Structure 1
Amino acid sequence: MAPADGPRSGKQAKTSQRTGNLKRKRVQDDLSSLVQQVEDLDLKGKFESFSDLPLSEPTLSGLTSSHFKTLTDIQSRAISHALKGRDVLGAAKTGSGKTLAFLVPILENLYRRQWSEHDGLGALIISPTRELAIQIFEVLRKIGRYHTFSAGLVIGGKSLREEQERLARMNILVCTPGRMLQHLDQTAFFETHNLQMLVLDEADRIMDMGFQKTVDAIVGHLPPERQTLLFSATQTKKVSDLARLSLQDPEYVSVHETASSATPSKLQQHYVITPLAQKLDTLWSFIRSNLKAKTIVFFSSGKQVRFVYESFRHMQPGIPLLHLHGRQKQGGRFDITTRFSQAQHAVLFSTDVAARGLDFPAVDWVIQADCPEDADTYIHRVGRTARYERDGRAVLFLDPSEEKGMLRRLEHKKVVVERINVKANKQQSIKNQLQNMCFKDPELKYLGQKAFISYVKSIYVQKDKETFKLKELKLDDFAGSLGLPGAPRIKFIKGDDTKERKNAPRATAYASSEEASDDDGEEKKTKKPKEKEVRTKYDRMFERRNQDVLAEHYSKLINDDGTIAEPTKGTADADEGDDFLSVKRRFEAGDEDLDVGGSSDSDSDGGVSVPDAAGEKTEGGAKVVKISDKDTLVIDSKRREKLLKSKKKLLKFKGKGTKLIFDDEGNAHEIYEMEDEEAFKARGDAREQQAKFLAEEAQRTQAADLEDKAVAKQKKREKKEKRKARERELIAEEEREERVAQLAPYEGDRNMADGAYSSEGEDAEVEAPRPSKRAKTQESEEAVPWYKQQKKKPAEEKRIQTLEDLESLATGLLV
C-alpha cells in the first residue's frame, strides 16, 4: 500500500505547489494593478465613498466591517495626497473623521511595500494624551483586522519591560511622546532607521512648548527620508515647526478654512456671565436641571476636578458622576472613559486631558466652568459634542472681568457665541452645604484649599493678561463659595512691583549714619528716612533662637526689629571676634581657677583657665577633676586641660552608662536580662522556684493592699476633718453676724449723737448687714443643716426708723 500511495502523494504536492504559485501570481498582479491605480489617481477628483479610492481588499473589508462607507471632506482630500506619498497638513473641525484620514494611508502604503515583521517599524503615530492614543489604536484594530501587520500601543502607566520585549516586532506603533522617547533612549533592539511614515495627531498641541523638547529629541532618532502627516482642528503653520519635522513641500488641506465658523454647524454655543463666587451654584443648578443628559464639565486644574467631584458626590445630585485628570493611574483613566462612553446619562468632570480628539458618543452638553486659556482650547473643548453632523450644545462660564477679552479672541477665530441668562427661580445656593461639609470633613476642606490655590495659579500663569485679570477677581468670596473659612495665603501674589523689588539691591538695615562734622569740629547725626527693606530666607533663618553658636552670635548683632545693633563704646573688634569664635559648650568643673604649668606659660599660649572641682592635686602638681559621679580626669597637660571644653571628647573618659526603661507606673529600672539556664537549674526544681515566687508575690501584694487601705483611710479622715472645720467656720460666721445685728441699735444711737442724722428731719437709714457667705456656696435649702435653719434672722423684724422705735427696743432689752 505504501508504494501505491507514493505517486498519489506526489500529485497532491505538485497540485498544491501549483495552486500556491497561482495565488502568489494573482497577489502580485493585484498589487501591481493597485500601484498603477495610485499613480493614475487624480488629486483634483471628488470621491464620495471608500470604494472610489484605490484601496486594497483587506482595507476595504475592514472599513466595511466597521461600518465606514462614506468619505468626509477631510478624508476625501487628504487620503488621495497621502496615498501618493506626499506630506500633508490636515486641518478640519472636530468630529470630522481625521483619524481615518491618516490610518487608511498607513495601511495602504505598508501593504503596497509588502511590509512584513522582519522589516521593523514602518509607521509611527504620536498622540498628546493617553486616552487619544488608546482611541486611535482601537480604530486601527477595527479597520486593519484583515491585514497581517503587527501593531502596538506605547503609553505611560504600563510596564516598560513588557513593551521593550515586544517593541522590536511591531510594524505600526501608536504612542505618546514621553514614553516613545524613553524607548528610543533605553531600548537596545528598537530600530527606527527603516521608518516610512510619521503621523502627529493634534499636531498644534504636540508642537507647542509643552512637548517641544521631547518632539525634537524623537525626530532626531528618525530618518529624514520619510512621509509626515500632521492633523489637527487648529493646524500650525509656523515655518519653524515645519522645518523641525523635515517636511518636504507639504500639502495644506483645510476643508473648513472658508467656513463662517470654526466649530461644527449644528453646535449651539452660549456663554453665561457668572461671578466667580457663584460658579459652583450655577453648575449645581444646571446639573440638577439636566438629569437626563450626558455632560462634560471642564476645569482648569486637576485639584478643582477632584474637589468638585467629591463635594457634589456627597450632595447626591441624582445622576452618575465621574472625574478624569492627569494625576490618576492609567487603569483608572481607561475605566472612567469606558464607563462614560457606555453611559446614557452621566456627568464627567475633567481637565483638558479630555479636550482633544476623544470621541465620546452622544454627548449632549459641554460646560466650561473655567475660561479656556485661548480660543483653540475652546474649539477643542466644544468639539466633544456635535460630532459627525449631530446636534450639541455648549455653555461657557465667564467672570465679568473675562467677558471682553475672551469674546474678542473667539471672534478672531470665527467662533460666534450668544449670551444667555440663568433663571433666578432655578438658581440654588450650595454655599452653606459646602461649609458644613468642610467643617465636618477635614480632608474635603484640604481639597478645597488646594483647589483654590490651583485655580489662582492657573490664572496667574496665563499669558493673555487682557482676559485673565487676577486683581479684579474677588478671591475672598470665591474661597467662601468653596466652603472655606477664609482665602488661603498664596505667596506669589505681591502686586505689580514684584520683579522690581526682586531685582532691587538689598536695603541697608542700618538706618542712621554719621554726617561730616561742622567747621567747629562738632559731629552731627542726621537720620535718614527708613527704607523698606527686603527680607530674605537667610534673615528669617538667622533670627531663630534654636540654632547653634552662629545663631547666638547673630542675635547679638541684630536687634529684635531687624536693625543692626550699634557697637558699645570701648569694645574692640578683636573682642567681637573672640566672642564669635568662643566655644559655648563647656564643661564646668568648679569655682576656683587652676593654672596648669605656670601662669606665664598659659597666658603666653592663649591661657585657658580650668575651674577646680575636686580640690585635689597629685604629686606631680596635676589636678584631679570629677567629671561624673563615678569618673574622674587627671589634668596633667594642656591637652587634657582643653578636653574640659568639649563634652564630646570627655565621653571617652566616662564610663558606659546603664540603659534604663520605665514600667507602667513610671518607675525607672534596668533592662531585665534572661538568666542562664544552668544557673537557673542550680537553684533547684522549677516547680519549687515557681511556688516560692508565687508566695513572695502574694506576700508583696498583701503588703501593698494594706498600704493602699491605710492611705485611703487617711485621705477619708482628712476629708472629714476639712468638712467639719468648714461647718465650724460657717457657724462662727453666723454668730458674728447676729452679734452685729443686736448691736446695730446702739451703733445707730451713737451715730445720731454724733450728728449723723439729717438736721432737716429726714429719716436716717441704718446700713444693712453684709450678705452671708452661705450664698456664695450655692447650696440648696434641703442641704442646709438644722443648726443653720434655727438661727435664721426673722423675716418680720422691723427696721429702726425713729427715736420712738429705738426707745421701745431699749425698754424691751432692759426688761
Structure 2
Amino acid sequence: MVAPGITGRTRPTKVKKQAAAQKRKRNDVDVEKLEQAVAELDPKNASYKDFTDLPLSEPTKQGLKSSHFAVMTDIQAKAIPLALKGYDILGAAKTGSGKTLSFIIPVLENLYRLQHVGVDAGLGALIISPTRELAIQIFDVLYKLGKHGHMFAAGLVIGGKSLEAEKQALTRMNILVGTPGRVLQHLSQTVGFNVDDLKMLVLDEADRILDMGFQRDVDAIIEYLPKERQTLLFSATQSRKLSDLARLSLQDPEYISVHAEDKTATPKSLQQNYIICPLQEKLDTLWSFIQASKKSKILCFFSTAKEVRFVYESFRHMQPGIPLLHLHGRQKQGSRLDTTAKFSAAKYSCLFATDVAARGLDFPAVDFVIQVDCPEDADTYIHRVGRTARYNRDGRGVLFLAPSEEEGMLKRLEAKNVPIELINVRQKKRQPIKDHLTHMCFKDRALKYLAQKAFITHVKSIYLQKDKETFKLKEYDLEEYSASLGLPGAPRIKFLEKDKVKEKKQASRATIELLGSSGESEDEENGLTEKKAKAVRTKYDRMFERQNRDILADHYKKLIRGRDTDGEPNSGNEGKNTKAVADGNEDDFLAVRRRIPAEADLSDAASDNDDTSITRAQKVVHLQGAAQPLIVDSNRREKLLKSKKKLLKLKDKGRKLVYDDEGNPHEVYELEDENDFKAKGLPEEQRQKYFDVERERVQEADVEDKAAAKAKRKEKMWKRKQRERMEIEEAEDPGVELDDNGEDALANFRADAEFSDESKSDGGKEAQKKKPNKWSQSDSENDHKSKKRKKGKRNVAQHTVEEPRTLEDLEELAAGLLG
C-alpha cells in the first residue's frame, strides 16, 4: 500500500489547485449567522438605505463594491429584504430604477445560504426575460456581481446560438438566464435537465412575458416547475390580474410599487413632447431632426423590421453626417450583439430599432428617444421612452402622432399619468427628402423592394392593432404615404381586398340596391365612376344584373372596359363592371373592348394602329435593320425586346448583291422596270423572241459538242491501228536472237520505246497496260515469272538498251548478244 500522504504523481501538486479544491468544499461558510441575520430583518417596519445595512455574504459585498454600488434605490430597498426572507414579490417601478439588482442579489444570497452549489445540486434559480438582449444584459450583471467568490455555475440560453453546446453544459447549471422559447425547448428536449429542485423563479418584464405573445410558452414552462418555490415578478408596468397570479401559483405575494403615489409614471428628469405629423411627412421630419442633432445620441423606434431596414438603407445612402445603426428581430444574433455594443460605446450615434430594444436595455447616455410610429398602447410608450433619463440623468422623448391618432393616444397616456406636451416643427428647417427617395428607388431595385415591403408591413401593423379608436386605417392617406417612401404608386395589399370582398358578401341585397339607385360607385377606393341606374327598375332588371361574385366578378371586369354615358372608353378603368350594350345602341354590337395580340403575330400587331387594341401607354422603339418601328403596348412586348431570337423575325432579311462592270450593285434576281418591259413589245412577242435566241444558242452548242466527240473517236481509232501494225511486224520478222532469259531484246526495246511515246503523248494520264506475250514465250512461263514477282523472292533485272543509230551500232549490239 502507498504510505499516507504520498500520491502516485511524479510532480508536486500546485498550491493554487489545492486551494481551489478546498474552496469548492465550502467548509468555511458560516450559514447560521446569515440565517439568523436574515430572520431578524423587519422589511415592513424598518427602512434600509445602503447595501451594508443588509445581511449579505462576503462574495456579494465584494461584487457590489467592485461595481461601485453603495446606495440602494427605492425598489431595491423594499424588494431585496422581502426577497431575502422568501416572499413572493410583484415589483413595479419606473424604468431605470435598478430592478435588475432587486432580483439578482436575492438569487445569489438565497442559494448561497442553502449551499446550492455543484453538479449534484441541479438548477436552483431560473430567470426569464422577453428578449435576447435583455437576457444578455441580466447575465452580464450576474457575472460581474458573482465572480468575486461565488461558486455557482451560471448559464445563458437564448435563440441564435448552438443548441448542442447548451445541452452539454445545461446539466451542470445552478443559475439559468434565458428567453421563454429556448428554455421551453430545453425542458422538452434536453435529457438530464432536472428542475425538480428549483428554488426561485424570476420573470423580468413580467407584463410582456404574461401577455398573449408568450402566454403559451410560459404556461408550458410552469408545468415543468415545482409548485413549492419562490417567484419574483418585476416590470415597469405591473399587472394585478388574478388569472396571471393563479397561473404562476403565487403564495401570498407582496405587491411593491414604489412610484404608485407619484403623479407621473415616468422619471421627473424626462422631458416628453409630441408633434402632429401626417404619415407622409414623418420621414421628412425625422431627417430634419437628425440633421439638427448630429452631436447627440438618438434612439428611433419603428413598428416593423422592414421599416427599420428601409430607413437605415435610404438614410445611409444620403449620408446624414452621424453614425447610423439598426436593430430588429430579423437579424442574426451576432449582428444584434455587435449593434448593441457599438451603440452603447458610441458618443454620437443614431439607432433605428423595433420594440426589441424597448424593454430593459440599458444604453448609457441616450439624449433623445424618437417614436416615429405610434406605440400600440401606453405601456409600450413608457418602456420605449424609458431608454433615456435613466438613473436620474436628463433625457428627452418625442412622439410623432398622425392627426387621427392624437385624440385616442392622449387619452391612453393620460390614464397612465404620463405628462406630455405639444410642440411644433419649424417649417423653414424641415427638409423634404421625397425626391431623393424617389430617385434612389428608381436607380436601386433592391431599395424599391424594401420600400414596398415597408409600406405593406406598416399598413398591416395598423390593421392588426387592437385599439381601433386610435388606429383608424381609413383615415390614413396611403397614396401619399407610398409617395413619401419614393414609390410611384401604392402597392397592392391583399388582406384589404379580402375584407372588401367579405363586406360585399355580407351586405344585404337591399343595401346593394340602395347603393345602386343612388349612383354610388362599387370601387370608391380606386376613384372609378359608374353609370347611374335607371329611374324605373323592374324585377327583371335586377334579375339580369345579378351575378355570382365569387366566380364571375373578376373575370367579368377583366373582359369588359368601362365606358361613360357618352360611350367613350374610360382610360385605365378596364376592370369596371358595366353593361355590354348601353341603351340598346347598335354600334356596340360585336364591338372590340379588349384585344390581346398573339405572340406569333407581333409584326402585324405592331403595324396595327387600331385604338381599341391599345390598353396602355404606347412606346415606339426603332429597331436597327427593321423597316417599321415596334410599338410596345404590353408587358409581353417589353419582354420581347430582351430576346434577340424573336427580334430577328421583325428585322429585314439580308440580300445577295452582284456588281456589274461599272461597279453598280444589283440583286441576283432583279426585277425589270415596268416601262422598260413595255417598250420591248408585247409579252407574247418577247416570249417568242426569247425562245428563238435560246434555240440558236443550243444548236451552236450541239454542233461544237458533236465535233469534239468525232475527234475523240478518230484519235482512239488511230491508236488502235498503230498497236495492230506493230504486232504484225513483230510476228513477220525472222532471225530474231534471244538473250540469256529467252526473250527477244529488240522486241523489248521497241515495245519500251512505243510505250514511252504513248505515255508522253497522253501526258501521263493513261495507266501502263500489261505487255503481250512474245512469240518465243509460253503462257506457263509468263505465269511462273509473275508469281515470282508477287512473292518477292526474285527480281528480274530489266536490260536497258540504247537505240542504235548507225549500222555499226547495230552490228556491235548483235555481237554483244551473241557473246
Q: TM-score, normalised by structure 2?
A: 0.62
SS at match of 1:271: strand
CA contact (8 A) 1:120 1:169 kept: yes
Does the C-alpha gap of structure 1 residues 418 and 714 become closer, same or farther in structure 2, counting only changes over 3 Å?
Answer: same
Is 1:192 matched with 2:195? yes
Is 1:308 matched with 2:314? no
CA contact (8 A) 1:271 1:418 kept: yes
CA displacement, residues 607-663 of structure 1 (integer Å, 9 cap, x when unaligned): xxxxxxxxxxxxxxxxxxxxxxxxxxxxxxxxxxxxxxxxxxxxxxxxxxxxxxxxx
Aligned to 1:94: 95
CA contact (8 A) 2:655 2:667 kept: no
Does the C-alpha gap of structure 1 residues 450 and 338 become closer, same or farther in structure 2, counting only changes over 3 Å?
Answer: same
CA distance in 2, matches of 1:535, 1:124: 57
Q: Which amino acid aligns with 1:144?
A: G
Q: CA deviation at 1:116?
A: 1.4
Does the C-alpha gap of structure 1 residues 38 and 454 become closer, same or farther in structure 2, counting only changes over 3 Å?
Answer: same
SS at match of 2:48: coil
CA displacement, residues 245-299 of structure 1 (integer Å, 9 cap, x when unaligned): 0001100000001101000110000001111111000000000000000000000
Aligned to 1:445: 448
Q: Which amino acid aligns with 2:142?
A: L
Q: 1:142 aligned to 141, 144, 151, which one?
A: 144
Aligned to 2:736: none
CA RMSD of aligned residues (A): 3.9
Is 1:341 matched with 2:351? no
Q: CA deviation at 1:493?
A: 2.3
CA displacement, residues 69-119 of structure 1 (integer Å, 9 cap, x when unaligned): 110000000001100111000000000000000000000000000011211
Percent of aligned positions with the same letter in both sequences?
A: 62
Q: CA deviation at 1:124?
A: 0.3
CA distance in 2, matches of 1:358, 1:488: 36
Is 1:119 matched with 2:121? yes
Q: CA deviation at 1:425?
A: 1.7
Aligned to 2:262: 259
CA contact (8 A) 1:506 1:533 kept: no
Aligned to 1:34: 34
Aligned to 1:630: none
CA distance in 1, matches of 2:319, 2:145: 41
CA contact (8 A) 2:222 2:248 kept: yes
Q: 2:375 aligned to 372, 380, 389, which one?
A: 372
Is 1:288 matched with 2:302? no
CA contact (8 A) 2:660 2:666 kept: no
CA displacement, residues 315-374 of structure 1 (integer Å, 9 cap, x when unaligned): 000000000000000011000000000000000000000000000000000000000000
Does the C-alpha gap of structure 1 residues 122 and 536 become closer, same or farther in structure 2, counting only changes over 3 Å?
Answer: farther
Q: CA deviation at 1:503?
A: 5.3
Q: Which amino acid aligns with 1:379?
A: I
Q: 1:528 aligned to 542, 555, 561, which one?
A: 542
Aligned to 1:357: 360
Structural mapping, 1:490-569, within 5 Å: 490-494=493-497, 499-501=502-504, 526-529=540-543, 533=547, 535-536=549-550
Q: CA deviation at 1:504?
A: 7.0
Aligned to 2:83: 82
Does the C-alpha gap of structure 1 residues 140 and 719 become closer, same or farther in structure 2, counting only changes over 3 Å?
Answer: farther
Aligned to 2:135: 133
Q: 1:180 aligned to 171, 179, 183, which one?
A: 183
CA distance in 2, matches of 1:104, 1:711: 97
CA contact (8 A) 2:187 2:224 kept: yes
CA distance in 2, matches of 1:529, 1:42: 84
Q: 1:216 aligned to 200, 219, 240, which one?
A: 219
Q: Which amino acid aligns with 2:425?
A: V
Does the C-alpha gap of structure 1 residues 502 and 332 become closer, same or farther in structure 2, counting only changes over 3 Å?
Answer: farther
SS at match of 1:425: coil
CA contact (8 A) 1:270 1:420 kept: yes
Q: CA deviation at 1:161?
A: 0.7
Q: How many residue pairs were aligned? A: 548
CA contact (8 A) 2:125 2:201 kept: yes
Q: CA deviation at 1:61?
A: 0.6
Q: Which amino acid aligns with 1:459?
A: I
CA distance in 2, matches of 1:25, 1:324: 45
Does the C-alpha gap of structure 1 residues 396 and 727 become closer, same or farther in structure 2, counting only changes over 3 Å?
Answer: farther
Q: 1:720 aligned to 665, 676, 685, which one?
A: 665
Q: Which amino acid aligns with 1:39?
A: A
SS at match of 2:495: coil
CA contact (8 A) 2:270 2:395 kept: yes
Q: CA deviation at 1:531?
A: 6.2
Q: Which amino acid aligns with 2:269?
A: K
Is 1:327 matched with 2:330? yes
Q: Which amino acid aligns with 1:68?
A: F
CA contact (8 A) 2:184 2:221 kept: yes
Does the C-alpha gap of structure 1 residues 361 and 561 become closer, same or farther in structure 2, counting only changes over 3 Å?
Answer: closer
SS at match of 1:214: helix
Does the C-alpha gap of structure 1 residues 716 and 67 become closer, same or farther in structure 2, counting only changes over 3 Å?
Answer: farther
Q: Which amino acid aligns with 2:158?
A: I
CA displacement, residues 365-388 of structure 1 (integer Å, 9 cap, x when unaligned): 000000000000000000000000
CA distance in 2, matches of 1:26, 1:214: 37
CA distance in 2, matches of 1:68, 1:464: 42
Structural mapping, 1:599-614, within 5 Å: none
Q: 1:468 aligned to 448, 471, 474, which one?
A: 471
SS at match of 2:494: coil
CA distance in 2, matches of 1:729, 1:302: 77
CA distance in 1, matches of 2:491, 2:664: 55
CA contact (8 A) 1:181 1:218 kept: yes
Does the C-alpha gap of structure 1 residues 532 and 288 become closer, same or farther in structure 2, counting only changes over 3 Å?
Answer: farther
CA contact (8 A) 1:506 1:534 kept: no
SS at match of 1:467: coil
CA contact (8 A) 1:294 1:362 kept: yes
SS at match of 1:105: helix
Q: CA deviation at 1:728?
A: 8.9
CA displacement, residues 30-88 of structure 1 (integer Å, 9 cap, x when unaligned): 21011001011011211111110111111111111111111000000000110011100
CA distance in 2, matches of 1:495, 1:141: 52
Aligned to 1:48: 49
CA contact (8 A) 1:151 1:170 kept: yes
Q: CA deviation at 1:534?
A: 5.8
CA contact (8 A) 1:435 1:482 kept: yes
CA distance in 1, matches of 2:247, 2:187: 18
Structural mapping, 1:628-647, within 5 Å: none
CA contact (8 A) 2:657 2:667 kept: no
Does the C-alpha gap of structure 1 residues 537 and 283 become closer, same or farther in structure 2, counting only changes over 3 Å?
Answer: farther
Does the C-alpha gap of structure 1 residues 51 and 505 become closer, same or farther in structure 2, counting only changes over 3 Å?
Answer: same
CA distance in 1, matches of 2:312, 2:376: 22
Q: CA deviation at 1:492?
A: 2.3
Aligned to 1:590: none
Structural mapping, 1:478-497, within 5 Å: 478-494=481-497
CA distance in 1, matches of 2:356, 2:304: 10
Structural mapping, 1:418-433, within 5 Å: 418-433=421-436
Q: CA deviation at 1:526?
A: 4.0
Q: Which amino acid aligns with 2:441?
A: C
Aligned to 1:66: 67
Does the C-alpha gap of structure 1 residues 177 and 541 become closer, same or farther in structure 2, counting only changes over 3 Å?
Answer: farther
* Structure 1: runs of 5 or more not aligned: 7-12, 14-18, 508-523, 546-559, 564-663, 667-708, 733-815
Structure with the greater alpha carbon radius of gyration = 2
Q: Which amino acid aligns with 1:720?
A: P
